[in-house]
Amino acid sequence: MPRPVAVYPAFRRGLERLGPRARRVLDAATSPFGSILRAERAGRRIALTFDDGPDPDVTPRLLAGLADAGAQATFFLLLSRVRRFPRVAAAVADGGHEIALHGLDHRRLTTLPLAEARRSITFARAELSERLGTEVRWFRPPYGAQTVQVWQHVRREGMETVLWGPGLADTEQVAVAERRRRRRARPGDIVLGHDGVADRDDGVDDPPPPALDRVAWALDAVREYQDGGLTVGTVGALLDAGTAVKGARFTR
């Protein structure tokens, strides 16, 4: 079997060059190896997702705002932060939101030896599930970076990889108008937001996020979606209502 390493950049560049129609055809053809990208035939629903939490400042305020708005979300939690902020993590589950796994920590899985990457996923799913007393159906690799082997292991662990469509652009240094443009969502979309910021305690040293009130920005997006007639809910609710659209996405 050829080593997949060199294939990934070429694959990604190829995907980026395709038009939307060709990409849909390729996604359908590769769906047996696909990650969940969005849903179709799910009515006017979208899924709202938050990565990199829990965060002791942002998450509680976000939970209060979501409750006021009658919206639910899926939280892709880092086990490294669940251990540090167990009460905040419990509040996410108690709020009726969906618990999903982002990782044992935020290290890029494709930089770890495969055995370690696999162990980290198995271990983190089990501990997250036990700590919060809930099933964990969805996994989102840090940075969306996964190899075929990591993707297969996620399936063996009884989870599916969920990626995303539009994002709240709450980690990027962009102008407000651009941020507003990027967060536009259509029915079936899976929207990416962040309640936490992964740091050295999560195994990474990423640039700081923009100066942005992430709670106000996320709740403003929720209002915009709801005003546009969209129901804002969890990944589970979206996929229960509709059909998952998958495509192969392997990036290092």
Site map (CB under 5 A) of Zn ion, residues 135-154, x = contact: -------x------------
Site map (CB under 5 A) of Zn ion, residues 98-137, x = contact: ----------------------------------------
Nearest alpha carbon to residue 221 among 191, 252, 187: 191
Q: Is 202 in the site for Zn ion (CB under 5 A)?
A: no
Q: How many residues bind Zn ion (CB under 5 A)?
A: 3
Calculate the alpha carbon distances from 134 to 101, 151, 237 in Å: 12, 22, 16
Q: Choose the catalytic residue: 106, 194, 195, 202.
A: 194
Residue closest to Zn ion, measured at CB: 51
Nearest alpha carbon to residue 77 among 46, 99, 49: 99
Nearer to Zn ion, 142 or 187 (CB): 142
Minimum CB–partner distance for residue 210 and Zn ion (Å): 15
Q: Is 194 a catalytic residue?
A: yes
Q: Is 102 a catalytic residue?
A: no
Calculate the alpha carbon distances from 115 to 36, 109, 145, 220 in Å: 24, 10, 16, 42
SS3 content of the chain, % helix, strand, coil (to 5): 45, 20, 35
Beta pairing class for 160-161 and 231-233: unpaired
174 exposed, middle or buried (CB, 10 Å; 0-12, 13-18, 19+)?
middle
Ranges within 38-67 binding Zn ion (CB under 5 A): 51-52
Minimum CB–partner distance for residue 51 and Zn ion (Å): 4
Minimum CB–partner distance for residue 200 and Zn ion (Å): 14
Minimum CB–partner distance for residue 143 and Zn ion (Å): 7
Nearest alpha carbon to residue 22 among 224, 247, 252: 247
Nearer to Zn ion, 210 or 242 (CB): 210
* Residues with a known catalytic role: 51, 194
Task: Write out the residues near Zn ion by the rule CB under 5 A.
Answer: 51-52, 142
